[in-house]
Amino acid sequence: MEEFANTPPPPYYAVIFTSKRKEGDKGYREMAERMMELAAQQPGFLGVESARDQTGITVSYWKDLESIKQWKENANHREAQRLGHKAWYSAFKTRICKVEREYSMTS
């Protein structure tokens, strides 16, 4: 990722996905990349930021709740969610948020 997600002025929406991985790749990396590419093509997608050490945090940004719902129900994404439950994550938490304010610094 080059820089931060280039989101518009608030309000817009964020999906905070926090996860713990199980041991072993089991197709995870490839699927994660495919899902990033696919998400970026969805209507209302605004950007994504991601980091992982012991915990993984991926925050995706969306125009509205409807675009989040559409992406959640996307068939390829549903298959990834199913594998996520079964093979990749020991635990995760998803939070849907409305971004109300922001500020930034770039040197």
- Which residues lie near its own copies (CB under 8 A)? 1, 3-5, 7, 10, 14, 16, 18, 20, 49-57, 59, 85, 89-107
In this structure, which amino acid lies at residue 14? A
Q: Which is nearer to its own copies, 27 or 96 (CB)?
A: 96
Q: Which is nearer to its own copies, 10 or 43 (CB)?
A: 10
CB of 60 to its own copies, least distance (A): 11
Q: Which is nearer to its own copies, 43 or 65 (CB)?
A: 65
Residue with tokens 């012991």: 54
Residue with tokens 């990834």: 80
Q: Which is nearer to its own copies, 16 or 76 (CB)?
A: 16
**How many CA atoms lie within 13 Å of 15's alpha carbon, on the beta-carbon side?**
22
CB of 25 to its own copies, least distance (A): 16
102 token code pair: 């922001």
CB of 78 to its own copies, least distance (A): 14
State the angle between helix axes of 65-73 and 75-83 in degrees (0 to 180), rounded to the nearest 10.
70
Contact 15, 35 (CB under 8 A): no
